[in-house]
Amino acid sequence: MGASTPGIASGFVGAVGQTPLIRLNALSALTGCEILGKAEFMNPGGSVKDRAALGILLEAEEQGVLKPGGTVVEGTAGNTGIGLTHLCNARGYRAVIVIPETQSAEKIGLLRSLGAEVRTVPAVPYKDPNNYVRLSGRIAEEIPGAVWANQFDNLANRRAHYRTTGPEIWEQTGGQVDAWVAATGTGGTYAGVALYLKEQKPQLRCVLADPHGSALYSWATSGELSSEGNSITEGIGNSRVTANLEGAPVDDAVRIHDQDALQTIYDLLWQEGLFLGGSVGINVAAAVETARRMGPGHTIVTVLCDSGDRYRSRLYDAEWLKGKGLQQPERAA
C-alpha cells in the first residue's frame, strides 16, 4: 500500500495508511500514561475506513470477482462508503451505497458529491430483512457484475488492519505498547490490530470500547448479547458478533456514556486542537479509563477515526444535542 518512490504516493491508493501516532498531551499528563491516538482522519478519504475499503477492493480484484467497469455495493453508516467511493473513482468502478437515513447529512451529502449512487433507507435492526446491510447484499445480487463489499463479515476488512495498522503501531511505539483500545462496528479495526499486537506481545491488553445501546460490552464481559440505553454515535456498536470480530482477543471492555464521549471530543478540540468525530470520544474516554485501571507508566494506543467536520450539524450543535437530552460542553473561562 505504499509508493515506489520514497515521499511520493502512487495516487489515492498509495496515500492510504502510514498515519502518525499523536500523543494526547493533556490526557497523558492527567493519567501518567502515554495516551496515543492513531491519526486515521489523515487518510486521503478522511477516516480509518479507507484501509478496510482498500483491502476489500484489492482482494476482490485479486480473486477476479471485481472486473474493470464493475460496481461495488455496500451498506454503510458512511465512512466505509466514502472510502469505497473515492477508490471506485480512482480505479474505474461504480459505487452504490445504502445508508440509514439517520446518519448525518454531512456524510450523506459527501457521498453524493463524490458521485456514489446513494440509497437512504429507514434504520431498522439487523434481524429485519430491510436492514441496510442485508438490503445492500440483495441489491448487489441484482446488479450484473456487482460485488458486495460486505464489510461486517468480509475478513478482508480485518486482514487490511492486520497487515497495515497493527504493524504501523508496533513500529511507531518501538514495541512499547501495553494496551490497544478501540470501539467496534464491523470489528475490522479492533480485531485486525488486536490479533497482530497480541502475536507480538501476548501480555498486551486488548480493550473493547462500546457505547450504550450496543450489545458488545455485555458480550465481552458476560458472554451474553444484551444492550441497554442508546447512543448518538454513528458507525460503532452492534447487536451481533460479526465474522470480523469473531475470535479476536478481548481482555477487558469499557462502556462510555454519550455525555462523557462529548466532553472528550470537546476537550480534544480545546486542549489538543483536534476536531474529531463521536466515535473518537468513545475511544479516547475508554483509553483514559484503561489507563486508570492499569495505573501510571503504561502506553495505551487508540484510534482517532475521523474528523468532526462530518458531524458539525449534530455533535457540535447545541440545539441538536439538547433535542437528544445532552448538554453541549462549555469551555472553561
C-alpha cell at 291: 489507563
Which helix or strand (DSSP H or E) is residue 77 part of?
Answer: none
Are 204 and 197 in contact by the 8 Å Cβ rule? The answer is yes
- Alpha-carbon distance 64 to 70, whole Å? 11
Residue type, 309: D
Look at the block and give the residue holding cell 462530518. Answer: 310
Q: Where are the alpha helices (DSSP H) in the chain?
A: 11-14, 25-31, 49-62, 79-91, 105-114, 132-142, 156-160, 166-172, 188-200, 216-222, 258-267, 278-294, 318-323
C-alpha cell at 161: 488492519
- Alpha-carbon distance 321 to 105, whole Å? 15
**Is there a catalytic annotation at residue 49?**
yes
Residue type, 27: L
Are 103 and 81 in contact by the 8 Å Cβ rule? The answer is no
- Alpha-carbon distance 107 to 279, whole Å? 14
Please pick, among 49, 127, 201, 324, the residue that the annotation labels catalytic.
49
> Which DSSP symbol is given to 311?
G
Among all residues, which ones are annotated catalytic? 49
